[in-house]
Amino acid sequence: MEVSLGQKHKQAEFPLVSVSELSSSSSAPSSSPVVARFSINSGVPELRFHQETESNDAFNVDLRTAKLFKLSSIQSVCISEGSEASKEKTYSRGVTIQFRKEDESRAFHCAFEQWKKEVVVQGSHLQNGTVLASKSKFDDKIEASSAKMYFHYYGQLLHQQNMLQDYVRTGTYYAAVIENRADFVGRVVVDVGAGSGILSLFAAQAGAKHVYAVEASEMAEYARKLIAGNPSLGQRITVIKGKVEEIELPEKADILISEPMGTLLVNERMLESYVIARDRFLVPNGKMFPTVGRIHMAPFSDEYLFIEIANKALFWQQQNYYGVDLTPLYGSAFQGYFSQPVVDAFDPRLLAAPATSHMINFTTIKEEELFEIDIPLRFTASVGARIHGLACWFDVLFNGSTVQRWLTTAPGAPTTHWYQLRCVLSQPLYVMPGQEITGQLHMIAHNAQSYTISLTMSAKMWGPGAEQGGILQTSSCKFDLKEPYYRMSQPQAYSMAQDQQPHQLLQTQDIQIQAQEEEGSDLMQQPSQNSGDQLH
């Protein structure tokens, strides 16, 4: 027996032009009218599609697990969950819905959402019913206020323009996609965090069969406009507004593409969403662009930067500020300024030792492994200097079948909007050439979509008897990656003296990268300075 779900929703029936299963090769209008009806059957809320004259020929959708996506102003797709016997969710059935007019499409979507909400409200009273979780995986680990600001920020065109005008970033992505057409032609692509949709358009240019552009911010509406304005490509792109942790797709992807990198690679914690999308949507052995990322680190010496930060706290040394002694807060202010990692572009000649690196393989890493990252540090000083802290940057590899292309943010390479990052110690270390520097970089994720960084650096004994070990000096500091000190607002390129060779961090050899190499492989070599150049 079918009953109406209360009297709240006056219109429970919607006339349609046509309904066809996704597996069907055609969607020709039926000779008799097609109707979509919301109802409850045996305590289960459902959406039923049927022809008015053929009531037995119906397709029912369980509203407790159904998802509805808009493909165009008058076309949508509705998918439903498969067998509950399986431990994994499978969305094996779906229908394409064709409406007569745009306002009828809007009314149907509104009714769908209202009935879904009613399911949650009355879920405990439904026979054999299950209530969907009110919070997603994303909501469980990210503070609501942080997420709101994050999506508001990325929902602005001015920020998207800033990223698009980073020609190293955009040009490298374009080159990585176009040069690897073989990976995209005839393939299904998911663009994770699509933003303006530029990467989806690149994938379509490379011959993708279909691209699902997933974007949680209001930028999704702008992406729809941009894609609609490029109809030759846009007809193969579907924009889906939502988080990858929450949305469902009608099919699996052969390849994921995304720009999930933040400052120091991991800031904003979008790498976790990238990994979740891999586990939810990517076919086995599917490709990921980018494939791996590396965080590079080296000690640096920069007296000017150290003095600049230390001098900021001098304000609090005033003993008569309008009759008030500010000095009790000087120590806290001093430590506060040194708790901000510095984001800027610096001269690679400031590095005091060859760099070391920590690799993250996006194809194999587990989400929880990104919650806490521990990197041991060991360097050999190449110069005698005061060590003021640890300089960091990152690069990512697009491991295409045809071309392996790197995007690097290294000092001395063309500057990107990520710049580089430096953790400045409040107590510098003194080292001599050949002296060993050890330590630890420990990063713990927090719910403001960033990381707390703990840095310890120690200068070991040197000269005769150094093999006995022993620490001469140690310095530690804690930083909040969420609150950096942006030292410059415009890219600044540092030229290399003609007679000066950069440290080993920029010396490379071009080699082929094997797609199935395990994390930590020695085959991963440093990218060249030109690896981030835009495509000419």
Does a structural domain hold residue 514? no
Catalytic residue among 245, 248, 268, 272: 268
Do 315 and 464 fall within a single domain?
A: yes
Do 244 and 326 fall within a single domain?
A: no
Do 39 and 105 fall within a single domain?
A: yes
Report residue 372's pLDDT band, with 50, 70 and 90 as the boundaries: very high
CA distance 524 to 511: 9
DSSP-based helix, strand, coil % in the chain, nearest 5: 25, 35, 40
Check residue 153 and give its pLDDT.
80
Does a structural domain hold residue 392? yes
Q: Report if pTM > 0.75.
A: no
Does a structural domain hold residue 242? yes
How many domains, in total, are found in the chain? 3
Does a structural domain hold residue 302? yes
Report residue 24's pLDDT band, with 50, 70 and 90 as the boundaries: low
- Domain range enclosing 159: 151-259
Helix pair angle (157-164, 219-228), 10° resolution: 60
CATH number assigned to the domain comprising residue 203? 3.40.50.150
Alpha helices in 400-522 (DSSP H): none
| Last residue within a domain, chosen from 121, 141, 169 | 121
Do 101 and 185 fall within a single domain?
A: no
> For the chain, what is the mean pLDDT?
82
| Last residue within a domain, chosen from 442, 468, 486 | 486
Question: Under 8 Å CB-to-CB from 258, ≥6 apart: which residues?
Answer: 191, 192, 193, 199, 270, 274, 277, 288, 289, 290
CB 314 within 8 A of CB 281: no
Do 57 and 177 fall within a single domain?
A: no
Do 190 and 42 fall within a single domain?
A: no
Does a structural domain hold residue 265? no
Do 247 and 299 fall within a single domain?
A: no
> Which of the given ranges, 72-76, 98-102, 423-427, has the highest pLDDT on average?
423-427
CATH number assigned to the domain comprising residue 354? 2.70.160.11
Residue pLDDT, tens place only, 499-519: 444 444 433 333 333 434 444
Does a structural domain hold residue 74? yes
Do 380 and 480 fall within a single domain?
A: yes
Do 326 and 427 fall within a single domain?
A: yes
Does a structural domain hold residue 233? yes
CB 439 within 8 A of CB 429: no
Residue pLDDT, tens place only, 188-241: 999 999 999 999 999 999 999 999 999 999 999 999 999 999 999 999 999 999
Do 24 and 78 fall within a single domain?
A: yes
**Other beta carbons within 10 Å of 444:** 12
- Residue 27 DSSP label: -
CATH number assigned to the domain comprising residue 35? 2.30.29.30
Does a structural domain hold residue 208? yes
Catalytic residue among 46, 81, 215, 259: 259
Do 465 and 378 fall within a single domain?
A: yes
Tell me whether residue 308 is one of the annotated catalytic residues.
no
Check residue 119 and give its pLDDT.
53
| Last residue within a domain, chosen from 215, 239, 259 | 259
Do 114 and 169 fall within a single domain?
A: no
Tell me whether residue 259 is one of the annotated catalytic residues.
yes
Residue pLDDT, tens place only, 135-191: 677 877 878 888 788 778 878 888 899 899 999 999 999 999 999 999 999 999 999
